Structure 1
Amino acid sequence: MRHIHQRLQLYTQGNDAYIFVPPDTVGAQSLTVHRSSGELVLNPPHSLPPSARRSGKIIFGILGIISLSLSEYVIVITGREFKGRLMGHDIYRASDFDLLPLSPNLNVFNPPHPVEAHLIGLVRSHLTGGFFLFSYTWDVTRRLQAQWETREQDTNKPFWETADDRFFWNKFLQTRLIELTLGNTSQDLSSYILPIMYGTFDIRNAVLHGRTLQICLISRRSRFRAGTRYFRRGIDHEGHVANFNETEQLLLVVDGVASGDAPPAGGEFGTQMSFVQIRGSVPVFWAEVNTLRYKPDLQVMDLQDTANMMQRHLQEQVTIYGEQALVNLVNQKGHELPVKAAYERYIKQLDLPSVRYQYFDFHNECKHMRWDRISVLIDELETDIRRHGYFHVASNQGEVVQLQRGTVRTNCMDNLDRTNVVQAALARWTLNQQLKALGILSSDDSIDAYEAISKDFREMWADHADAIANAYGGSGALKSDFTRTSKRTRKGAMEDGVKSLTRYLKNNFFDGARQDGFDLIAGNWVPRKTSASSMFLVTDPRPLITRSMPLVASFSLFMICAGLTLPRTSDYSLFYYFILWFTLLSISLTFIFLHGIDYVSWPRLVPSTDYIYYTGPGFRSAHHGKGFGGDNAPKTRSGTSISTKWLNGGKKRVAASVEDGEKRVD
């Protein structure tokens, strides 16, 4: 792999340019970003202009360039956190960022226009709220087997060229640098293009029966159809599914008897093993529509290309990973049944080779906290996972012992809690098989008998589950007490109640802006260079009566509380006073819940009206929260209900939504 600069010193040349100088690389070319034109130029070595002034900032990488309504910005990493050393390679988390405006008259902390301030806030919130990992010497976006299979042809290639496109999170931000590198051989910016990954990383050292080993857990989140729990569900018209994650568990073992519990300094592990699982939303067109109710309205859309998109998605997984064992944990009754039915209907219709469907009724099998019943699923999958195998390379001998020829794709409704429990159980089973194959464990032994390694394993998977759940659902994972302790407790059930309430509040009242952050960073929405065209981002176009109801409810509640402190001449002296304010409170709350959709924090960059008001074939559980008219409410010529026309920013959309596989430009 080609060299990537690990440290950059920032210089400024008045208001004309930013200059990034690699201080630790002898003879390296510095990079100038001209602020007036946005042009990027590589400079000859040791050619810093005399007028350049050194900034106090140390840059640990350039994330990319983003264009907002008033200016372009260079996003740089100004803080990094060491997460561990994997096979001799340092892995970091990007912990702090800075935005460098190209416009000379713009202050990022006090933008001159509210739209620009709002967009900068979305970028900052996304960056500080995510978990972004990178390495200067190891490709964090690709699993071990993929790197091993292409190691010879990748020798002289830059990281950005070999990175897995699905997990190259800042690919859109790096577009300018990549295009310049491809279009001009004299301007190769590869040393400045640092791919980052949104995911998790954890590594633990252990000694078992005299053998030094490391267990590492990595998850990689796809940048396609990325977003939050209720605003990104199902599949899109590119065959990408929501909340797709690849999870890789690595087992690294030093040959010979351990002299201590420290891993080798250079990362020389004679044995390297990798086991990969994937998760992703049910690959049909479906959504859950927030209405302020705890259970959103379920919408399953039977579109003409559902079967084609499901086939495209599954064939891509077969191409990448090999055989697919599809484990579906969605409930077979109640609210989730229509999603399960649609999934199974299309799977049966497609009848794809190398794809096997396995249903597991999680809640019924594991009811009364019988989480040990996961073993029933493992028994049903054992033939598949033994045939799929895992990747095993004897690196000191330079030969592959075994390839992983398939994966288990697990999903529940959110691909979070039930999925985490099942994936952890499959990972534990596989780890035991690997240790037995190496002769470290006997045929009837298990890591459960060794508290130190078992505890590390449980904590790794629980932390991993919490991180994925926070990124998608807004809270830590449910049922994590079982993952951490192998037991389901009443305390854990109570904690799950708190997490569920947290998810409800975030999903209804905060996730709209969070989804906008995803769409802005991923390039699903590109602002025009006029702030006036994006004023809908900072204004509230809802009708006055809609906006006033929360104020009426709050003031009524205040007056009721105040009335409790007022002096009384008799028990009935304040009777009509309370009747008035209780009536107003009841009317306002009734209105709010009847028009619940109008009070949800919806994404504004890529509105969700396409599935909210879908009227084609499929299934709809209810039409709550749409006012008194529901589906019969008057609609515009485009089919959008007049009562929620504000969801489109009060105007016709310029381009189709992401559901149509296109970027939106405003």
Structure 2
Amino acid sequence: MPSIRVLSRDHPVRTLLVVTSEDALIFQHSLGESVGNVLPDNGDTQRCLVEFANLSSIDFTGYRTLGSGYGILGLVTIGQDVFVCVITRSSKAATVRPGETVLRIEDVDFYCLNRSEYESGLYHDKDSSIAAEDSNPNAGMTEDPFLGLKKLLNDGSFYYSLDFNLTDRLQDRSDKSTAFDIDSLDKDVLWNAYMIQPLLVFRSHLSPHEKQLLDSSQILTCVIRGFCGTLAIPATVNVLSSVQKTNLPSMLTLISRLSSLRAGTRFNARGIDDDGNVANFVETETILWVPPRIAYSYVQVRGSVPIFWEQATGFLPGQQKIEVTRSVEASQHAFNKHIESLELEYGAVHVVNLLSELKPGEVELSTRFREHIRKNLVDSKVDFNKPPDHALLRTTEFDFHAEARGPLGYGAGGEIKHELLHSLNGFGYFLSEKGRPSEVNRSGPGNTSVVLQQDGIFRTNCLDCLDRTNIVQTIISSLALELFLLQGNGVLSSEVQLRHSTIWADNGDALSKIYAGTGALKSSYTRHGKMSLAGALADARKTATRLYINNFSDKARQRTIDLLLGRLPEQMPVHLYDPINDLISSELDRRAAEFTSRKSANIWTGTFNINGRAQGPDTDLSPWLFPQANDQDTDPTIFAVGFQEIVVLSPQQIMSTDPTTRKSWEFAVGDCLNTRATARRTPKYVLLRSGQLVGAALIIYVREDILKDIKNVEGNVKKTGLSGIAGNKGGCAIRFEYSNTRLCFVTAHLAAGFANYDERNNDYTTICRGLRFQRNRSIEEHDAIIWLGDFNYRIGLPNQAVRDLVQQANYQRLYDNDQLNLQMLAGRAFQFYNEGPVTFPPTYKYDVGRVTYDTSEKARIPAWCDRILWKGSDLRQLNYNVSNMLLSDHRPVWASFACTINVVDEARKESLRHALHAQRRSNPQVLETQPQPVHTSNGDTISLEPIATGLPPPSSDHRKWWLDNGTPVKSSIHPPSRDHALNTYRASNPFSPKGSPDWAPIAASQMQYMDARGIIPMKPPVPPRSLTAPVAYQNKPHNALGAKGNVHKKAPPVPPKPNSLGSDQNSTIHSRSQNGDATLSGPTTRQSRRSSLTSGLLDDNVSEEISWKPLVPQ
């Protein structure tokens, strides 16, 4: 029975209600202009109002029912419309244990927040019978914009549960409460994460009580994609002899969770990405529940070969060309990320590679795969010919096609078990047991004890991770199940084996349909244990169908998947505005001083281009790291050390990163810092994080005593060399949060060359926009940002002139011609960044080991290549200087900062939030009397509170503090008296000494048309009547009331120009206008208006004697 209803109302504002038996979610699409405190629509983000309320507080007048359903999948923007996606039909797919049911989505519907046209039935599928029978298909009948998304969600591959966290395997939720906790969902396998994210953000703003009510209403639904199924084993089958027999059947369940991180169709999603996510990555869990108290689980995974490779579509099966797109060195980092993520999640990993040793493309993939495994840092010391018990990574290569050519056919796949038994016994399986049989009906784990845990996993792959993988994973699952039953004095009976094979065949077909568009090949063998003629014919049909789908349908399917996951470039997110919580948040911001304190931290930053010198780490770095070594000085809390060219930038090096040299510099910096800390008996420094992009490295050391206040440490790199594919140029960034202040450090090595400042500007833009941290956080989204590096900007003066000015220490003249300074002034790079006064000589280029500038044949012009720039109101620069280390042709630069660290007392803030919630509920107007922030057209928020006592509030495009303390910018000037109107034909030059008056007297009959500003609107005259006296408006031959005719619209009037450009025929008019006594007696005729337009369009009364002078200081 449906648990929710969807209602709508169009007036006064379109509103959707999603109603349960007790509560409701209220949605309203915001208009372009501000509604209350609603953020205006800036064209990039669709904004909606949302509120969670009890039914008793809602007036249902004017609402109509649109439909019913079982839950909300989220919100999505398609074009300019915002839709709520609701599950309207579902069916039971699996029962893991009593009280743990999995439901399959059978149908969804989309309800538009901002338009009601979709409810009328005018929008439908072009391919439907209605559209086909329409004689004029263009007469208003169009396809629903959400049709593709609807078909995708209705394909039977999406599942959800209202009883437990379906994204977690049984082992991970064994020690958790049975209460459904939406915060613990695994986003990697959550397929509606993008759609439901705005609602989860809204939920996070609710009070704990409201959050509990929203969760208990089960309105918000989270889905996975893959397969879920259960087959009952009759109670008459003795599964385990050691378990007390009951009249309840055992349940064999299979759950496959497809990752959403690199999701896509067969030829559109291959290999790995830079984050270590692979295509077609599926976690499959076999669960056996034996009543009354035994729960068994075994997990294995599949995924594409984890290297960078692609495969083009084609019409010859098996002949599609495989192309490896990156070298081993350029792929190793992503491969390591993938393996490390598996080890962190599952423990030891045993790779089962089923690729062919005869097909050239698969041979290349296997060779690369093998090489990456050997290079993996975790497994670099493992002997692959022996299965040591402590190995975290092992591999087995099994050419399935070659083995199947033998007399056993596909049955030869069973021979692989001899290669896997050692790891199978070592990994174990998960086993839990209820404590008391009397509580068999309880589904919670509160009385459940964990007997065994699975400590490792098999990772199986072939080319597509479909057909061969299905057979081998079925064998592995069967071996693990048999091992469990044997250890429990049971036996893998034919009844259990039959159901196990059937459910695995169903699983293979489902996963194959998702990825390739058809059921799995060889599923007849998986299901029946033998290959029949009918099965072979079915495989041929599936192969032909795959060719068609992959060549003609997959592109559209891929786009729909990207739409669901929010990955289309033009896709706009949905912003939910919650009025109450946003008001409270604004009030909390205004009263931040009540729960926020501040402290200061000293930050040292430095940059040094090593020029590839190998002896660098052996050099004493204290003159650079501690240039002001004074016992009275407080040493910095944070050290951010940037290097460039720590390796020689050879063609081999620029495509990969060798961490060996970086680690040497890490040790050298750490040793120098801690030697001083030991001497001064201060807390030692610890390496927080380091990052490297080929020759550029960034090393962050922090003092040990502040580690407890640092969180969310992240790093990333961005290449700009060779159009972004080489790392010889680019940036490396590290960000973290120190208490409640977000810090970001970026070291960069930009394009070289005297005249390549445009390329350097582009490199900066690429790094600033393209370098992203987790959750798509950019560099600019931080409170304090410091760039340090070899930016390569030069000085635009001749060589000898620069050297002479250096000798004279005339650094200001040099700085005036510095390319970076000029580019920043022009707004082309490092917009809104600051640089301290440059009071030191250029840092490049020196003779190595000497204090003289370049004396080689090239004779480089000295320049300030090495710079430190910063941005953020929390930063204050203390020093900016150079260190005279002769190691390189560059000189190291350093700068020190005092940074204000904001510390928020979260407990006190939450207490104040609760108090404001209570005030709001008792008195709805309590927060509305407070000054609210102004939302600008680009979405920025400007507070109307002054930044300090005695100062006016800040100005904006709409308010100026010098205009009556913040009244609207556009001022209203009133006429001197009621019988005067604004002279719309006054001179264009307001400084003309003989100009016409600003105000003109009007007749009493025209006063009724004048508005509050003293302007008579130029309205069309009434129908024809007897002509009145000619216009006596002496400075023009026509008046404002004659501007429009009765029928035809005229073009806008030509702006008046100076009199010196006019003709002599207007001299009489000019002489009259200079008297200044204009009067307005009545409307002109159309004839007089036409004659005035042709008599002279360039009239005005600017005197010939006026001499124009520039407005510059004299």
Per-residue deviation, residues 348-404 of structure 1 (Å, max 9, x unmatched): 111524111111111111214522322321111101011001000112352211100
Query: 1:367 and 1:351, CA in 2 relative to 1: closer, same or farther beyond 3 A?
Result: farther
Cα 1:528–1:462 shift into 2, 3 Å: closer
- In structure 2, what is the equivalent of residue 21 of structure 1? 19
- By how many angstroms is 1:325 displaced? 0.4
- Is 1:128 paired with 2:134? no
Residues 105 and 154 of structure 2 are in contact (CA less than 8 Å); yes or no, is this contact kept in structure 1? no
Cα gap change, 1:128/1:155 in structure 2, threshold over 3 Å: closer, same or farther?
closer
The answer on whether the counterparts of 1:420 and 1:465 sit within 8 Å (CA) in structure 2 is yes
1:32 is aligned to 2:26: yes
1:86 matches 2:84:
no
Find the counterpart in structure 2 of residue 198 from structure 1: 225
Call closer, same or farther: CA 1:528–1:95 in 2, change over 3 Å: closer
Structure 2 counterparts to residues 504-543 of structure 1, below 5 A: 504-527=547-570
1:465 corresponds to 2:504: no
Q: Distance in 2 between matches of 1:421 and 1:388?
A: 20
1:534-584 deviations in Å (ceiling 9; x for gaps): xxxxxxxxxxxxxxxxxxxxxxxxxxxxxxxxxxxxxxxxxxxxxxxxxxx
In 2, Cα distance between equivalents of 1:338 and 1:118: 45
Paired amino acid for 1:418 = R
> Is 1:380–2:416 an aligned residue pair?
no
The equivalent residue for 1:355 is 393
Residue 185 of structure 1 is matched in structure 2 by: 207
Q: Which residues of 2 match residues 75-114 of structure 1 at below 5 A?
A: 75-87=85-97, 88-107=99-118, 110=122
Are 2:295 and 1:272 aligned?
A: yes
How far the C-alpha of 1:615 sits from its partner, in A, is: 13
Name the stretch that deviates more: 362-371 or 77-86. 362-371
Identity of aligned residues (%): 27
Q: 1:550-629 maps to which residues of 2 (within 5 A)?
A: none
Residue 7 of structure 2 aligns to a residue whose secondary structure is: strand
Shift of 1:138: 1.6
- Measure, in 1, the Cα distance between the counterparts of 2:357 and 2:141: 46
Q: Is the 8 A contact 1:214 1:252 kept in 2?
A: yes
Q: Report how far residue 490 of structure 1 moved.
A: 3.1
Aligned match for 1:47, one of 36, 49, 57: 57
Q: Provide the C-alpha distance between the structure 1 equivalents of 2:254 and 2:298, rounded to a whole number of angstroms.
A: 10
Matches within 5 A, 1:279-428: 279-294=302-317, 295-303=319-327, 304-334=329-359, 335-353=361-379, 354-368=392-406, 370-396=409-435, 398-428=448-478
Please give the alpha-carbon distance, in whole angstroms, between the structure 2 residues aligned to 1:528 and 1:357. 42
Name the residue aligned to 2:496: 453
Structure 1: distance between partners of 2:771 and 2:417: 40
CA positional deviation for 1:9 = 1.7
2:887 corresponds to which residue?
none
CA contact (8 A) 2:510 2:519 kept: yes
In structure 2, what residue type is equivalent to 1:48? I
User: Deviation at 1:312?
Assistant: 0.5
> In the alignment, which of 170, 188, 197 is matched to residue 166 of structure 1?
188
Q: 1:106 to 1:45 in 2, by over 3 A?
A: closer
CA distance change for structure 1 residues 230 and 194 in 2, over 3 Å: closer, same or farther?
same
How many angstroms apart in 1 are the aligned matches of 2:94 and 2:514?
21
Residue 624 (structure 1) aligns with: none
Task: State the AA in 2 paired with 1:7.
Answer: S
Relative to structure 1, the CA distance from residue 412 to residue 529 in structure 2 (aligned partners, 3 Å threshold; closer, same or farther) is: closer
Q: Which has the higher contact order (CA 8 A, sep 6+)?
A: 1
Residues in 2 aligned to 1:45 and 1:56: alpha-carbon distance in whole angstroms: 18
* SS state at 1:414 partner: coil
For structure 2, the residue ranges without an aligned partner over 5 or more in a row are 31-46, 125-137, 240-244, 380-391, 437-447, 574-722, 727-768, 778-1114
Equivalent residue number for residue 535 of structure 1 = none
SS in 1 for 2:118: coil
Secondary structure, counterpart of 1:358 in structure 2 = strand
C-alpha displacement at 1:332, in angstroms?
1.4
Aligned residue identity for 2:402: N
CA contact (8 A) 1:251 1:273 kept: yes
CA distance in 1, matches of 2:771, 2:365: 23
Aligned equivalent of 2:267: 230
For the 8 Å contact 1:82–1:92, the answer to whether it is kept is: yes
> Does the aligned pair in 1 maintain the 2:3–2:20 contact within 8 Å?
yes
Question: What's the CA shift string for 1:163-207, capped at 9, x where partnerless?
Answer: 122111111110110111223437634443211111111111214
Mapped partners of 1:333, 1:656: distance in 2:
41
CA shift for structure 1 position 293: 4.2
Q: Contact 1:122–1:517 (CA<8 Å) still a contact in 2?
A: yes
Total equivalences in the alignment: 509
Distance 2:55 2:117 in 1: 31
| 1:482 counterpart residue number | 525
Q: Does 1:175 align with 2:197?
A: yes
Contact 1:221 1:244 in 2 (8 A): yes
Q: Partner letter of residue 499 of structure 1? A: K
Structure 2 counterpart SS, 1:478: coil
d(CA) in 2 for partners of 1:437 and 1:380?
Answer: 21
TM-score (norm 2): 0.44
- Whichever residue aligns with residue 209 of structure 1, its letter is N
Deviation, 1:117, is: 4.6
* Contact persistence 2:94–2:253 (CA under 8 A): no
Instruction: Deviation per CA, 1:389-445: give whole Å up to 9, x if none.
Output: 10001123522111000110000000000000000011111111111122122xxxx
Deviation at 1:657, TM superposition (A): 14
Bigger helix share? 1
AA paired with 1:97? V
Tell me, in whole angstroms, the C-alpha distance in 2 between the residues paired with 1:107 and 1:100.
8
**Which residue is equivalent to 2:83?**
73
Q: 1:429 maps to what in 2?
A: 479
| SS at structure 1 position matched to 2:172 | helix
Question: What are the Cα deviations for residues 17-61 of structure 1, in whole angstroms up to 9, with x where unaligned?
Answer: 1111112xxxx3311111345211011342231315341522100
Give 2:424's aligned amino acid. Answer: I
Distance (whole Å) between structure 2 residues aligned to residue 520 and residue 308 of structure 1: 29
Aligned letter for 2:308? Answer: F
CA distance in 1, matches of 2:116, 2:250: 55
Distance in structure 2 (CA, Å) of the matches to 1:77 and 1:380: 46
CA distance 1:226–1:71, change in 2 (3 Å): same
- Residue in structure 2 matched with residue 579 of structure 1 by the alignment: none
| Preserved contact between residue 83 and residue 93 of structure 1 (Cα < 8 Å) | yes
> Scaled by the length of structure 1, what TM-score is found?
0.72
Does the residue aligned with 1:172 lie in a helix, a strand or coil?
helix
Partner Cα separation in structure 1 for residue 467 and residue 571 of structure 2: 40
What does the per-residue CA deviation read over 1:466-487, in whole Å, with 9 as the maximum and x for residues that have no partner? 0000100111101111111111
The structure with the largest alpha-carbon Rg is 2
Does the C-alpha gap of structure 1 residues 355 and 326 become closer, same or farther in structure 2, counting only changes over 3 Å?
same
Query: Following the alignment from structure 1 to structure 2, what is the Cα–Cα distance between the partners of residues 130 and 489?
Result: 28
Q: Distance in 2 between matches of 1:155 and 1:414?
A: 37
Q: Is 1:243 matched with 2:276?
A: no
Over aligned residues, Cα RMSD in angstroms? 3.0
Within a 5 Å distance, the mapping from 1:2-21 to structure 2 comes to 7-14=3-10, 16-21=14-19
Q: Tell me if structure 2 keeps the 8 A contact 1:159–1:194.
A: no
